[in-house]
Chain A
Amino acid sequence: NHIVHNGGLYKRPFNEAFEETPMLVAVLTYVGYGVLTLFGYLRDFMRQWKIEKCQNATEREEQKDFVPLYQDFENFYNRNLYMRIRDSWNRPICSVPGAKVDMMERVSHDYNWTFTYTGRVIKDIINMGSYNYLGFAQNAGACQEAAAKVLSQYGAGVCSTRHEMGNLDKHEELEKLVARFLGVESAMAYGMGFATNSMNIPALVSKGCLILSDELNHASLVLGARLSGATIRIFKHNNMQSLEKLLKDAIVHGQPRTRRPWKKILILVEGIYSMEGSIVRLPEVIALKKKYKSYLYLDEAHSIGALGPSGRGVVEYFGLNPEDVDVMMGTFTKSFGAAGGYIGGKKELIDYLRTYSHSAVYATSMSPPVVEQIITSVKCIMGEDGTTIGEARVQQLAENTRYFRRRLKEMGFIIYGNEDSPVVPLMLYMPAKIGAFGREMLKRNIGVVVVGFPATPIIESRARFCLSAAHTKEMLDTALKEINEVGDLLQLKYSRRRLVPLLDRPFDETTYEETED
């Protein structure tokens, strides 16, 4: 019974919600940060007056009169806040990061300044942190056998760049396959996903062009945009009114000083934003792009393989035409169990990138076993290896996502993001709860990733769960039971059950948010 507005652009309901921070929780979070800041100042004072041993990096004695290096807020935060909860990050794992993982136990005797390994290995920790959406992180099975065969045939190193002697027949095969998978004319693969973004955006835009980038874009997109030298304007996260206003201003006013029209307008968005779990409003972005004659660069790092009825990403999820997106970029790290990135689009674009991209000219090409892993996993997802494993995995991931999100919402946690995104951020807010959550979950044999400042705004720290097709329902039930327990122990169930669904109708001054109690 869902009445669709926006001119019927959306063929399916778009349910995204970001529940507002409760006022009391925000105040108490600031109180916590205030106390830690005061103690930080006390400790810095003691370190400077040599009452306490200084274990962090400082300048040498001879350089004490120079401009201070470690006085900014980032270093203060690092010394006094991050160090206290550091044991939740950089945990060493010693097995394949599948649905269950083994971790090496470590203890710290001086409050996280140094770690020692006890020698014990904690086995079978339920892995809720790895980007393993379709479960291809395996050390057994068809992908592993094919990769082992290619390893014995080609070796591990390529010892050259794509331009020189590093263009293997495996790379050509991979690129044709990826182009077929995405439904584009041509594609090119690179050895590193971050480098794909940061090295190719400068090849596409330059000074005199305009980049409209989402507020919460990944560091690789931001770096690529800054390296290109183009003018960058930011629009509010997933907010189409903000984007349209910027587009209108760009067309009407042109470049800042000379008022000439912009050479190119490029819109940078991501398929799934990994910190929020939100999905881009792609039908509206494409409608705007066509109306104002600009180009679209879609970064499907987290959404390829994870969304869509056959795993072909956010374009298939919304039922759109892949030819509408000018540059489709993605990574092989998350859903394909390998490493690297790709860019897909029209043949002229990809031929241009083959010649002018920094990554193609200077970076070593992908290692052959990794290429074979991608080829085998893409064929598996498409169903061309003769089995239905790929289709089953895509469906299992969708089921797991819906089940997990529904159960967490019912328990009363604040969960951000879209109903269909396999990235589930659970809000923690207070700094002590970041450390406490990570440690308590590890005690109960579940590995989670907790995120705080500077990856998120300072009061909105969260725990981020990444669901996988390899998680069985029993694993999810165990995890949910433990999360429920830890939620009661740490009082994390902040939700006041006031769901504020984002507006699906045209925005004007008379609309206001709906609340349901």
Chain B
Amino acid sequence: MDVKSTKNFVFWLFCQFELITCSYLMEPWEKVLFYSFNLSMVGMLFYTTYVCAAAHVSTGLQFLWNLLGNQHENAVSVVK
């Protein structure tokens, strides 16, 4: 079943993360502390991306659109 093998793969990935960051060796309360710290960091990263990066990307797209629009208008006026 594809779902089972995906689940196994995700679990194996999580085990590798545990081994690399040595959370495999930690006591349960230490694991809770460590994972909550990691998840809060990742959450803040997503929030920052949403707030700042989205604004930058939309400004950039607007600029590009204006550039293309002007070109189109200039070309049309010359032909006229």
Whether chain B is bound by chain A comes out as yes
Show the binding face of A for B, using Cβ within 8 Å.
Answer: 28, 31-33, 35-36, 39, 84-85, 111, 430-433, 435-436, 489-491
Q: Please pick, from A39, A433, A489, A491, the residue contacting B26 in the complex, using a CB distance under 8 A.
A: A39
CB distance from B34 to the nearest CB of A (A): 7
- Nearest-neighbour CB distance to chain A for B35, whole angstroms, equals 12
Task: Give the residue name and chain of the B residue nearest to A433 (CB).
Answer: B19
Given A35-B34, A39-B30, A84:B25 Cβ within 8 A: yes
Query: Are the C-beta atoms of A431 and B22 separated by less than 8 Å?
Result: yes
Residue of B16, B21, B24, B27 with highest tally of chain A CB at under 10 A: B24
B22 in contact with A491 (CB, 8 Å): no
1/0 per residue, CB under 8 A from A, across B1-17: the answer is 00000000000100110
Are the CB atoms of B16 and A432 closer together than 8 Å?
no
Asked if residues A35 and B19 are in contact (CB atoms below 8 Å), the reply is no
User: What are 16 A-B pairs at a CB distance below 8 A?
Assistant: A33-B22, A35-B34, A36-B22, A36-B25, A39-B34, A85-B25, A111-B27, A430-B20, A432-B20, A432-B24, A433-B19, A435-B25, A489-B15, A490-B19, A491-B16, A491-B19
Question: Is there contact, CB below 8 Å, between B26 and A31?
Answer: no
How far is it, in angstroms, between the C-alpha of A456 and the C-alpha of B12 when the chains are bound? 29
Task: Chain A residues near B24: list those with CB within 8 A.
Answer: 432, 435-436
Contact residues on B (Cβ < 8 Å of other chain), bracket: 10 to 19
In whole angstroms, what is the CA distance A84 to B12 when docked?
Answer: 22
Not counting A35-B21, A490-B19, a sample of 15 additional A-B residue pairs whose C-beta atoms are within 8 angstroms of each other reads A33-B22, A35-B23, A35-B34, A39-B30, A39-B34, A84-B25, A84-B26, A85-B25, A430-B19, A430-B20, A431-B25, A432-B20, A435-B25, A489-B15, A491-B19
CA distance A28 to B16 in the complex (A): 11
Taking beta carbons and an 8 Å cutoff, which residues of B are in contact with A? Answer: 12, 15-16, 18-27, 30, 34
Q: Which of chain B's residues have a CB closer than 8 A to the CB of A435?
A: 24-25
Say whether A432 contacts B34, CB under 8 Å: no
Taking CB atoms, residues of chain A closer than 8 Å to B20 are 28, 31-32, 430, 432
- Output the least CB separation between B41 and chain A (Å): 13
- Chain B neighbourhood of A28, CB < 8 A: 20
Quick check: B22 and A432 within 8 Å, CB to CB? Answer: yes
User: Given the complex of chains A and B, what is the CA–CA distance between A430 and B6 in angstroms?
Assistant: 26
Q: Within the complex, what minimum Cβ distance (angstroms) separates A459 from chain B? A: 13
Q: Which of B20, B26, B30 has most chain A Cβ within 10 Å?
A: B20
Q: How far is the CA of A489 from the CA of B12 in the complex (A)?
A: 8
State the CA gap A491–B13 with chains docked (Å). 10
A433 to B24, CA, bound (A): 9
Provide the residues of chain B in CB contact with A430, threshold 8 Å.
Answer: 19-20, 22
Residues in chain A near residue B23, CB distance under 8 A: 35, 432
Q: Inside 8 A of A491's CB, which chain B residues have their CB?
A: 16, 19
For the complex formed, measure the closest distance between the CB of A257 and the CB atoms of chain B, giving whole angstroms.
49
Shortest CB distance A32–B (Å): 4
Residues of A within 8 Å of B21, CB to CB, are: 31-32, 35, 432
Distance to closest chain A CB from B79 (angstroms): 58
Task: Return the 3 tightest CB-CB contacts between A and B, nearest first.
Answer: A84-B25, A432-B22, A32-B22
B contact residues around A431 at 8 Å (CB): 22, 25
